[in-house]
Amino acid sequence: MQVVKYVFQPHGDDRGQLVALEENKDIPFKIKRVYYMYDTGEGVTRGHHAHKHLEQILICIHGRCKIRLNNGHETKVVPLEKPYEGLYVANNMWREMFDFSPDAVLMVLASELYDESDYIRNYDDFLKFVKQQEDK
Ligand code: TYD
């Protein structure tokens, strides 16, 4: 299973760092939505779903967290600890976010507006979805 982690180029100078992200350039899709999580409680795991279409880039812009990706066959855990790293998460990945540091801010750039009907929230439905995609 391939994990696609982007390392963005910071524009650093003696004042500090700045990262700029442009759709279809630094980010491999048109950005329609941005959301972020903060004040995540200790021991909390979020996510537990996949998507039919949505693509995302996850950036832990402050603090640390971990992302567990599962493509229906394999699972990988990816730590996000740098504000210049972005994890690409395709639609057909079951994802869980966990191990948030108290100061973590996890920002998500998304290719679609919020649409509950795009979510696959049941794990058995996810496995069926993966099989359907593979049988195509
Ligand atoms: P939820 O799907 O539970 O978040 P996660 O998958 O990260 O655990 O979303 C929490 C709430 O926020 C839920 O009521 C739906 C709402 N929400 C929006 O209104 N817009 C969004 O873009 C997202 C991601 C969630």
Q: What is the pLDDT of residues 45-82, one digit of tens each?
A: 999 999 999 999 999 999 999 999 999 999 999 999 99
Question: Alpha-carbon distance 106 to 78, whole Å?
Answer: 13
List the 94-98 sheet strands across, edge first: 75-80, 65-70, 94-98, 46-51, 119-120
Residue closest via CA to ligand 1's atom 25 equals 114
Contact 30, 81 (CB under 8 A): no
Distance 10 CA to ligand 1 centre (A): 29
Catalytic residue set: 49
Number of domains in the chain: 1
Residue closest via CA to ligand 1's atom 19 equals 114
Question: Alpha-carbon distance 129 to 74, whole Å?
Answer: 15
Distance 11 CA to ligand 1 centre (A): 32
> According to the model, what pLDDT value does residue 46 have?
98
Range of the domain at 15: 4-135
Q: How confident is the model at residue 123 (pLDDT cuts 50, 70, 90)?
A: very high
What is the CATH classification number for the domain harbouring 67?
2.60.120.10
Contact 107, 27 (CB under 8 A): no
Nearest atom in ligand 1 to the alpha carbon of residue 113 is: 22
pTM: 0.96
For the chain, the maximum distance between any two Cα atoms, rounded to a whole number of angstroms, is 54
